[in-house]
Amino acid sequence: MVIILKSDPDKNKVDNLRLWLEERGITAHETVGISKTIFGLVGDTGSIDIDALRALDIVEDVKRIQEPYKLANRKFHPDDTIIKIGDALIGGGNFTLIAGPCSVESEEQICAIAERVKASGAVLLRGGAFKPRTSPYSFQGLQEEGIRLLKKAREVSGLPIVSEITDSAQLPLFEDVDVIQVGARNMQNYELLRRLGKIDKPILLKRGLSATYEELIMSAEYIMSGGNQKVILCERGIRTFETYTRNTLDISAVPVLKKLTHLPVIADPSHATGSAELVIPVSKAAAAAGADGLIIEVHNDPANALCDGAQSIRCEDFEMLAGKLKTIAQCAK
Amino acid sequence: MVIILKSDPDKNKVDNLRLWLEERGITAHETVGISKTIFGLVGDTGSIDIDALRALDIVEDVKRIQEPYKLANRKFHPDDTIIKIGDALIGGGNFTLIAGPCSVESEEQICAIAERVKASGAVLLRGGAFKPRTSPYSFQGLQEEGIRLLKKAREVSGLPIVSEITDSAQLPLFEDVDVIQVGARNMQNYELLRRLGKIDKPILLKRGLSATYEELIMSAEYIMSGGNQKVILCERGIRTFETYTRNTLDISAVPVLKKLTHLPVIADPSHATGSAELVIPVSKAAAAAGADGLIIEVHNDPANALCDGAQSIRCEDFEMLAGKLKTIAQCAK
Amino acid sequence: MVIILKSDPDKNKVDNLRLWLEERGITAHETVGISKTIFGLVGDTGSIDIDALRALDIVEDVKRIQEPYKLANRKFHPDDTIIKIGDALIGGGNFTLIAGPCSVESEEQICAIAERVKASGAVLLRGGAFKPRTSPYSFQGLQEEGIRLLKKAREVSGLPIVSEITDSAQLPLFEDVDVIQVGARNMQNYELLRRLGKIDKPILLKRGLSATYEELIMSAEYIMSGGNQKVILCERGIRTFETYTRNTLDISAVPVLKKLTHLPVIADPSHATGSAELVIPVSKAAAAAGADGLIIEVHNDPANALCDGAQSIRCEDFEMLAGKLKTIAQCAK
Amino acid sequence: MVIILKSDPDKNKVDNLRLWLEERGITAHETVGISKTIFGLVGDTGSIDIDALRALDIVEDVKRIQEPYKLANRKFHPDDTIIKIGDALIGGGNFTLIAGPCSVESEEQICAIAERVKASGAVLLRGGAFKPRTSPYSFQGLQEEGIRLLKKAREVSGLPIVSEITDSAQLPLFEDVDVIQVGARNMQNYELLRRLGKIDKPILLKRGLSATYEELIMSAEYIMSGGNQKVILCERGIRTFETYTRNTLDISAVPVLKKLTHLPVIADPSHATGSAELVIPVSKAAAAAGADGLIIEVHNDPANALCDGAQSIRCEDFEMLAGKLKTIAQCAK
């Protein structure tokens, strides 16, 4: 940590600051520049409150030079984390496809899609049971019944299942779900993260709409600091000024998160773009950028297509896409 | 709602769409333009899933022309909502000051600040007990003990208290808190909002870091649709590319939210700016823009200033500010 | 400047870096922390290319601790710059109103508005002659004729005139214009800025849609480094995810820019909001935040209102507003 | 265009509006909904000023349903535009690599890099002569001499050259440059665009930092409406809240721009990321998303690496990358 002092600071206050730091086992190395003096701090600065230092009237600015996350930090854990879910592996050079419908609607729907996406190469089945919706008047998912149908589809297809939790009170319902997803809107629901740190189950953690890389990793750190090291990070688009697409997929997030952490990093092109026709090029892009996998919404084009979301591709599109993704993922290495 | 069809759409599919709409009691008025055909829908389109319509291959775009919120909508409730909390009134032309420390730290601290801010004109006392922190390693607030100390300060000062909830499991602890605050990070924690809709207590709902006006109002609608009409909206800065300030206070939010809804609208200059020296000008700006009040962090400048947040002003600054705010709030009318 | 080295850097490369710095008269003070080593640089680092340092494989990051602007910097010029234009003063505690139509349309229009806004307290007349329009098919302003009409209105009303330049080739036409405005889209048109640095005329420099405070000040520095010290900074809204308003007026820009620089800082509520009904509350907010003045679009409500922009208020609204702004500007001090 | 009227609008004003539209050859088809009335306009609405309509007090909102660009619109020109520059082709299924140093520094440097990148598969040489720099105190490029050296490198290598113009006054110097680049900061320098519309030379137009897709296309339309149809669009990252990377490459821009227009669309991973180590994965991503090519900064790793930008990869990295890009570009089809 580096403290930049204001010009001509009160000498007594500087001494007080130095003393206060020393009480905490931290030495301040002084560099007197032309117009400013800086303190380079030596010692464990992890517990120092930067905002408190910034509030001092002799301090102009404080700059952290060390990442605030430890368990998720690639520097301390150079090897890739590989998470095993049934027969599926995520991380460590594997390219893993997770697919399924936006919402679970019926046994026929979820089982049919499960079979189709498995045949095309998906190794995990996704499906929404609890749907966080902007409007209280919108359909909120089949909830408990949705989880039951997902398990049914797992039975039929053999695919482990992934579903989103929206409140810690739902945890008992997720006991037999293979991967618990934390959605973008709950990325900083710290009470929920803390609870998920106490269970032994992979957590698919989506980046919040306006979360920085560091904030996403700190949310992973919440889970990991509770004891659960099985966190999968997911880039799903951020909010920007561009409104043509629902969100803006931040493609650099993939290589950056893989550099900063040892956790698997996947992408969600469906929510990032909000448009079926963009899912295919953006999926390819994420694979090319080195993602460890993708989570894609797929629908089975029934007679009444009006019920399917704008962002889901058809099973046949998924099949064609899956083939090309393999080649691209190879080139990403 | 207006549906814009693609050029030369398949006639059968257009008929199917028209039929599907009619089954839902909606008539489609056709306007054939030079290059596009549009359907102006007549009927209750509230339950129609826009994304599903957009997913149809004959549809180019769908535009909603009606607000998706009802209970919070100024159009259906032209009069200002006025919320009474003890002797304090929020909304309806009153200008209400809420003040207090960032975190509750001790009985002496919270009681001393309560007395000081009351004397300066604050009518509600704020204080954090449960602190949502980006890092799992940071101080998370005094929690239950913090709530107890707040109540103590209420006893001493007579000021009703405001504190932030971070999980619905904490609700029993908030039974005797006068106003429950929902922080920016929980603005779309829909399970929590739903629970707050079932209680009879004012809710101070902060705008999320990347929430649009409409999304903030929809979150209020979640609470109101449960039966609790006492919602106070709070602009607290949004996330933009500018990083000099912690967030960017969106001053237009004040008049816009007051136009779109009948709910009281306040501003939080402390979190918006993250800097004590900006709290004063930005507070004045919010009052001038017509805010119904402000929530401001105040500290009592103890010997060891290192414990106070960078964004809190001192009690004496608050006192001077409060005087000017009265005049400005008059000019806002 | 502080250089943060990677862990276990190659010793030869570190020596090379130190040597390279010394050749440039810069000493590197080393602080060896637990996990990182930092160099605090002493000497004139102004000409060092940060990106080049960052590109070195032994360097993890480089942090600048000094502002890159000199002439505009409040630290080196503590007194407010006051700019005199005819009888009008901008800066130094004066509150200055600039008003006029979006576009100059006719002699009657511009002269009528000039008289009206002068009577209400405006001391400068604005009017667009060269209009930067997103579409090549839109009306681009009366251009040369517009400038001629503005001068006519100055003759009649006695108000000095402000108009926007969009290319340095137009400079001869602006010889007799009192204040030259640089629009948001040209804030980083460095060739234009350089040319404006060579003339002796106040420049009203608008913040770009996605420009940081520092970038805006650096653009002022371009003009000032050419010799022209008369720069007026203008906050006119930035681009964010919120699309209800045309832009998001960043109210904190006013106190921050006044702290960082000694230049006058005004705000443009008309372009910031894009809506006449928001101009009034947002104007008040900017005055309350300490702005040195405002530039406001005003129209004279002719029979055929279809020609006026959505963001212009009527002369009578401006009159009422101007009265309240005086009181508010007093409270801002 | 659709006009949404306010509830209970003044009947006379509605008739006036209808009349005003009819005078302009536009018929208003009325749809009376439950709470609102809308006008679907039939006729050429291209010249209607939306802001003027929005300013009417009977109008709640106006929604455009047609793109405001014509010459660049894929709907009216379904076939890909293919631009031929010497032996190089851009667009129409070709994958084109443009490479070279950030700045032209010396004859040795530019010629050496030209030979190397040509050998690796680049078909155009880029090099900055006029550098738009945030600071007036930074190196602004070799300017005229830089252009001369680029031509020298073209002579030696046979590669056509691409360089950035920063002011229309520089046009004579660019007479013999093969492709003129317009940088992000000048994307809305309309006077410059207009001048480039009058010459017969390909223009590489970069997206502004906060420009929407539509605004980028409208800037292309400025050039095209002048007569020059040879415009290459370039995604180079937008400004968001994430500051770890210099900008956020918007990968969806590639497929979206290719859908909306018939122009070639390339990406610039160097400026988008600002970091050499991210150039490789992001280049692959852009190729996978269907880009027609890439423009990449390459340096030749001299002894004194301090002079090279942080965002340039070495010639040997470029060579390895170019090989993989071919395979990926195939998978993008």
C213–B290 CB contact, under 8 Å: no
Q: Are C144 and C129 in contact (CB under 8 A)?
A: yes
Q: What is the pLDDT of residue C210?
A: 97
B281–C254 CB contact, under 8 Å: yes
Name every chain B residue with its beta carbon within 8 A of the beta carbon of A309.
51-52, 55
Closest chain D residue to C59 measured between Cα atoms?
D310
**What is the count of residue pairs from A and B with beta carbons less than 8 Å apart?**
127
* Owner of token pair 């395979």: D327
DSSP states of C185-228? GGTT-HHHHHHHTTS-S-EEEEPPTT--HHHHHHHHHHHHHTT-
Alpha-carbon distance of A76 to C8, in angstroms, equals 14
**DSSP-assigned beta bridge partners for residue D203:** D180, D231
Interface test with B, best of D241, D245, D256, D260 (most B CBs within 10 A): D241
Chains interfacing with D (3 or more CB pairs < 8 Å): A, B, C
Task: Tell me the nearest-neighbour CA distance from C280 into chain B, angstroms.
Answer: 8
Q: Are A157 and A118 in contact (CB under 8 A)?
A: yes
Task: Tell me the nearest-neighbour CA distance from A131 into chain B, angstroms.
Answer: 10
Structure tokens belonging to residue B206: 């902060």
Residue A54 — φ and ψ, nearest 5°? -60, -30
Structure tokens belonging to residue D175: 């007479």
Pairing of β B27-32 and β B2-5: unpaired
CA distances from D92 to B74, B80, C192, D128, D292 (A): 53, 60, 37, 27, 8
Domain C83-332: what homologous superfamily?
A: Aldolase class I (3.20.20.70)
- Amino acid C245 reads T
Q: What is the pLDDT of residue A107?
A: 96
Chains interfacing with A (3 or more CB pairs < 8 Å): B, C, D
Interface test with B, best of C265, C284, C311 (most B CBs within 10 A): C284
Task: Tell me the nearest-neighbour CA distance from D92 into chain C, angstroms.
Answer: 27
DSSP states of A175-202? TT-SEEEE-GGGTT-HHHHHHHTTS-S-
Alpha-carbon distance of A238 to A272, in angstroms, equals 7
Alpha-carbon distance of C162 to C203, in angstroms, equals 9
Interface test with C, best of A1, A2, A73 (most C CBs within 10 A): A2
Q: What is the pLDDT of residue A32?
A: 84
- Which residue would you say has higher pLDDT here, D217 or A2? D217
Q: Which of C238, C256, C284 sits opposite B288 (nearest CB)?
A: C284
Q: Which of B242, B256, B259 sits opposite C213 (nearest CB)?
A: B242
pLDDT band at A138 (very low <50, low <70, confident <90, very high): confident
Structure tokens belonging to residue B245: 């300030």
Helix axis angle, D315-331 to D107-120, nearest 10°: 30
- Chain-centroid distance of CA B9 in Å reads 43
- When mean pLDDT is compared across A83-97, A259-273, C63-77, C187-201, the lowest value belongs to C63-77
Alpha-carbon distance of D181 to D228, in angstroms, equals 14
D169–C166 CB contact, under 8 Å: no
Using the predicted structure, report yes or no on whether residue D327 has a pLDDT greater than 70: yes
**DSSP-assigned beta bridge partners for residue A314:** A299
CA distances from C101 to B320, C147, C153 (A): 39, 13, 12
CA distances from A58 to A45, B102, C134, D78 (A): 19, 22, 47, 64
Torsion on CA atoms B167, B171, B172, B173, rounded to nearest 10: 70
Contacts of D182 (CB under 8 A, 6+ apart): D164, D165, D189, D192, D193, D196, D203, D204, D205, D206, D219
Structure tokens belonging to residue D308: 């090279």
SS3 B296: strand
B189–A188 CB contact, under 8 Å: no
Among positive and negative, which fits the CA dihedral A129, A135, A139, A145? positive
SS3 D266: strand
pLDDT band at A308 (very low <50, low <70, confident <90, very high): low
CATH architecture, domain defined by A2-63: 2-Layer Sandwich (3.30)
Domain ranges of chain D: 2-63, 83-332
Interface test with D, best of A209, A212, A331 (most D CBs within 10 A): A331
Using the predicted structure, report yes or no on whether residue A303 has a pLDDT greater than 50: no
Name every chain C residue with its beta carbon within 8 A of the beta carbon of A42.
31-34
* Owner of token pair 């089975």: A300
Name every chain B residue with its beta carbon within 8 A of the beta carbon of C322.
none
Alpha-carbon distance of C166 to C163, in angstroms, equals 10
Residue A217 — φ and ψ, nearest 5°? -65, -35
Alpha-carbon distance of C328 to C333, in angstroms, equals 9
Mind listing the pLDDT tens digit of every residue in chain C (333 residues)?
A: 889 998 888 888 899 899 989 988 899 888 887 778 889 888 888 778 787 788 788 888 888 888 999 999 999 999 999 999 999 999 999 999 999 999 999 999 999 999 999 999 999 999 999 999 999 988 889 999 999 999 999 999 999 999 999 999 999 999 999 999 999 999 999 999 999 999 999 999 999 999 999 999 999 999 999 999 999 999 999 999 999 999 999 999 999 999 999 999 999 999 999 998 999 999 999 999 999 999 999 988 654 444 456 788 999 999 999 999 999 999 998
Q: Which of A213, A243, A289 sits opposite D244 (nearest CB)?
A: A213
Name every chain B residue with its beta carbon within 8 A of the beta carbon of A54.
310
Closest chain B residue to A132 measured between Cα atoms?
B190
A244–D256 CB contact, under 8 Å: yes
Alpha-carbon distance of D103 to D143, in angstroms, equals 10
SS3 C39: strand
Using the predicted structure, report yes or no on whether residue D307 has a pLDDT greater than 70: no
The candidate with the shortest Cα–Cα distance to B184, out of C150, A198, A190, C93, is A190
Structure tokens belonging to residue D235: 């995604």
SS3 B164: strand
Mean model confidence pLDDT for chain C: 93
Using the predicted structure, report yes or no on whether residue A325 has a pLDDT greater than 80: yes
**DSSP-assigned beta bridge partners for residue B37:** B32
Alpha-carbon distance of A233 to A265, in angstroms, equals 5
Share of chain D above pLDDT 70, in %: 97
Q: Which of C36, C75, C241 sits opposite A65 (nearest CB)?
A: C36
A56–B210 CB contact, under 8 Å: no
Using the predicted structure, report yes or no on whether residue D310 has a pLDDT greater than 90: no
Alpha-carbon distance of C198 to B267, in angstroms, equals 44
Rg of chain B in Å (alpha carbons): 23
Q: Are B82 and B89 in contact (CB under 8 A)?
A: yes
As to burial, measured by CB atoms within 10 angstroms (0-12 exposed, 13-18 middle, 19+ buried), residue A94 is middle
What pTM does this model have?
0.95
The tens digit of pLDDT for each residue in A44-59 reads 887 787 877 887 888 8
**What is the count of residue pairs from B and D with beta carbons less than 8 Å apart?**
71
The candidate with the shortest Cα–Cα distance to C283, out of C98, C156, C20, is C98
- When mean pLDDT is compared across A311-320, C251-260, D193-202, the lowest value belongs to A311-320
As to burial, measured by CB atoms within 10 angstroms (0-12 exposed, 13-18 middle, 19+ buried), residue B19 is exposed
- Which residue would you say has higher pLDDT here, D237 or C133? D237
**DSSP-assigned beta bridge partners for residue B96:** B293
* Residues in chain B, pLDDT under 70: 301-309
What number is the average pLDDT over the span D119-128? Answer: 97
